[in-house]
Amino acid sequence: MFRKFLSGLVFGFGFAIAFVFVAYVGLQLIIPAVINNSNKTPEFSDAKPAEVIEQESASHPRLGAESNFKLYKDSRAKMQVPDGGGILSIASIQTPSGNKYPSTYQLWITQSEFWQVKTSEETVEIEKLDYPAIQPINAVESTMRKQAGYAMSTMTISSEEVSVLKMGQGSWHDKDMNGRMKITKEGVVFIQPNEY
């Protein structure tokens, strides 16, 4: 009787080790490979080279005259386009081997314009899209899903930040990102990734 119990424990222990090993291999090797291979290539029909305004480095956040602190006290849970600012969303897309910089697909939406941006090496292409009839954040999410599959990050950019970028000064976000926030002459904000 004790021998059968001991055999059952050994079998159960062996089964548990095998299960943990298979789960580990799946989570560490197979799932990341599937996600990276499912990167879509965004479609641009009327892209043009972007004229980027060069910025200096910024060392600290630039705050506006009034500071409205809100942490979930509002009934709206969805991200809103700030007055004079916009929403920026970025995804990493398939980068050709040998490139020094990662390729990205980005969306920039303001209260009146909707743009898509593609970076490849140090080349930036922009294309104006039709402004959506739905909420801006919903348009960003659905367009990003359609064009790139997923978004790595989506953030609001204030009017103060846009003004600072237009003056050629660096963004305070740059110290926390693996890239630099920039703006085109058309007013399209995007992130230029750093070299690998």
pLDDT-above-90 percentage for the chain: 39
pLDDT at residue 109 in the model: 96
Query: What average pLDDT does this structure show over 84-101?
Result: 91
- In this prediction, residue 47 carries a pLDDT of 81
Q: What is the pLDDT of residue 71?
A: 47
Return d(Cα 189, Cα 177) in angstroms, integer.
15
Cβ atoms within 10 Å of 42's Cβ, excluding its own: 24
> What's the pLDDT score for residue 36?
60
Residues 54-71, mean pLDDT to the nearest whole number = 56
Residues 145/74/82/104 CA torsion (nearest 10 deg): -30
- Above 60 in pLDDT, residue 169? yes
Backbone angles phi, psi at 69, to 5 degrees: -90, 125
Q: Taking the C-alpha atoms of 70, 73, 76 and 82 in order, what is their torsion angle to the nearest 10 degrees?
A: -10
User: pLDDT tens-digit profile of 32-49?
Assistant: 666 666 556 777 888 888
CA distances for 186 relative to 73, 114, 170, 179, angstroms: 35, 12, 18, 20
Cα–Cα distances in Å, from 177 out to 52, 173, 174? 19, 6, 5
pLDDT confidence bin for 25, thresholds 50/70/90: confident
Quick one: pLDDT band at residue 72, thresholds 50, 70, 90? very low
Element (H, E) at 90: strand 86-92
pLDDT tier, 97 (very low <50, low <70, confident <90, very high otherwise): confident
Closest CA to 128 of 186, 88, 86: 186
